[in-house]
Amino acid sequence: MQRVRYAFLFTSGDPSPLRMDNWYMAEEKLPTRAEDFSEWYNQLVLRAQLADYAPVRGCMVVRPYGWALWENIQQGLDRRFKATGHQNVAFPLLIPRSFIDKEKHHVEGFSPELAVVTIGGGEELAEPLVIRPTSETIIGHMWSKWIQSYRDLPVLMNQWNSVVRWELRTKLFLRTLEFYWQEGHTAHATQQEAMDETRQMLDVYTDFAVNDAAIPVIPGRKSDAEKFAGADITYSIEAMMGDGKALQSGTSHYLGQNFAQAFEVRYLDQGGQLQHCWTTSWGLSTRVIGAVIMVHGDDQGLVLPPKLAPYQAVIVPIFKTDEEKASVLSAAKQLKIELAKAEIRVTLDEREGQSPGWKFNDWEMRGVPVRVELGPKDVAKQAAVLARRDRPGKEGKISAPLADLPSTIQRLLGEIHQSMHDKALAFRKSNTHDTKDYEELKKAVETGFAFAFWCGNADCEAKIKDETRATMRCIPLEQPGGTGKCVYCGQSAGERAIFGRAY
Ligand SMILES: [Zn+2]
């Protein structure tokens, strides 16, 4: 097999793309996940051409393959947002600095991460502007103008944009200074409606994670220490990565009347009384791409869930002579048309000068769910060989008649989705331990999650974090019931929480 050499950045912690001595050449094999999970991730993101480091420290460039993945994520979510009555909007990037100061917890939480613009058009600005870290404040300001009466409610909005939170320790998709996301914002006449909305959007994220990303997630409530700056309650979905660590993959916040009071978002109720609105916000970001990589990826590269994969199938033609080339390529082109008609996202790899084996490896690296191998013998038989990305080797290969390929691949994509989800769920279950005491918790968080009673006291949570580096991920909505003793202090506790080390 032809060997190929990749040049890429050595990226442990502090990549500095402008220093050429960080470049080195490597053979095509990735480090295995067992050897170095972090380096496996860094190299995979670069080699699969999902993203790259930008010249400004902390920033990332999302490449076409990565953006196509994000577009499929966007479509899956946007469809769900619209089905639940939300409309898309666009608010500006720049927010007056004074807006951030209006909500006490919000300013405390976000001040250290703000990027502030003080000069515009060569002139010092009368009031500094911040680049949005999130948009609650400017949206609250506009709502105070737009919302007058109970007839104006509810307001259900979402925007797709990027935000900036100053961050120097770059990890592509997981931790960058600027990241892409959606932020949903809603205003309601009653507390109950706002609570229902918060939970509904958590359900939407859960549904997306399970049914589109094949990622089993734990929906739950955050502790006070971990909640959003300015929220009364934050819910999140938490997923376990392939190294046993947690990744928060989407959050939904019940904001009470905090922002409505700070920005005077009020309405006249049916009795003619002036009331403050109840608001929510919810977001899911390009971090979820990190989750897709780390939940499903293997030592050969990406394994993409079929619903999100930019290409669901790749046709690799195999031939030696010019005569074979003509007949194989003609059959391959026809097949591509048939698969596209069946709404399968398909590509035909016609690259010259690369062997089929090289192409197999390349598409494995890029995680395409189904590979279609088409050679002269297959064409003669009017058949093709299908190889599943999630099951490497002979086990994942079947031969099928060309005429049946659209339906066979559709069925395979469904099976692959289910099998990827089930595998990830089995992995999470086998690495989640019900822990009775602190010693057990310490051991559990070395490799996965601890599911333990917690008294609700922030001191216990802080001490666990200091001593084990594990944070309280969430208090799962689904509780086994009963009461027990807090895993740290031994006081009685009514709920169990998930503890784990996190990205
Ligand atoms: Zn306790």
The token duo for 262 is 């700070």
Q: Is 348 left (phi over 0), alpha (psi -120 to 50) or beta?
A: beta
- Closest CA relative to residue 304, chosen from 384, 371, 223, 237: 371
The token duo for 385 is 């060989």
In the chain, the N- to C-terminal Cα span, in Å, equals 37
What is the whole-number distance in angstroms between the Cα of residue 311 and the centre of ligand 1? 49
- Closest CA relative to residue 241, chosen from 459, 43, 424, 484: 424
pLDDT at res. 381: 96
DSSP secondary structure, 108-127, as one string: HHHGGG--EEEEETTEEEEE
pLDDT at res. 281: 98
Query: 116-120 and 60-62: which strand pairing?
Result: unpaired
What is the whole-number distance in angstroms between the Cα of residue 8 and the centre of ligand 1? 47
What is the whole-number distance in angstroms between the Cα of residue 460 and the centre of ligand 1? 5
pLDDT at res. 169: 86
Q: How many CA atoms lie within 13 A of 229 on its CB side?
A: 18
- Closest CA relative to residue 218, chosen from 230, 233, 235, 198: 235
| Kind plus residue range of the DSSP H or E element containing 462 | helix 458-468
What is the whole-number distance in angstroms between the Cα of residue 109 and the centre of ligand 1? 25
What is the whole-number distance in angstroms between the Cα of residue 455 and the centre of ligand 1? 4
What averages of pLDDT result for each successive group of 10 residues across the chain (503 residues)?
A: 40 38 50 96 97 94 98 98 98 96 86 94 96 96 98 98 92 96 98 98 98 98 94 97 97 97 97 97 98 97 98 97 96 98 98 94 96 97 97 91 97 98 98 96 97 96 97 96 94 96 96
412 Cα distance to chain centroid: 24
What is the whole-number distance in angstroms between the Cα of residue 108 and the centre of ligand 1? 26
CB 499, CB 449: distance < 8 Å: yes
| Kind plus residue range of the DSSP H or E element containing 195 | helix 191-211
Indicate the SS3 state at residue 11: coil
What is the whole-number distance in angstroms between the Cα of residue 444 and the centre of ligand 1? 18
- The pTM of this model reads 0.92
CA distance 327 to 420: 35
**Residue at token pair 């109970």:** 150
What is the whole-number distance in angstroms between the Cα of residue 225 and the centre of ligand 1? 14
Which residues, in sequence order, are bridge partners of residue 188?
278
What is the whole-number distance in angstroms between the Cα of residue 488 and the centre of ligand 1? 5
| Kind plus residue range of the DSSP H or E element containing 458 | helix 458-468
φ, ψ for residue 245 (rounded to 5)? Answer: -85, 165
- The 3-state DSSP composition of the chain as helix, strand, coil percent (nearest 5) reads 40, 30, 35
**Residue at token pair 């916000």:** 281
What is the whole-number distance in angstroms between the Cα of residue 471 and the centre of ligand 1? 14
What is the whole-number distance in angstroms between the Cα of residue 441 and the centre of ligand 1? 13
Q: State the amino acid at position 128 in one-letter form.
A: P
Query: Residue 463 contacts by C-beta under 8 Å, 6 or more apart in sequence?
Result: 488
What is the whole-number distance in angstroms between the Cα of residue 456 and the centre of ligand 1? 7
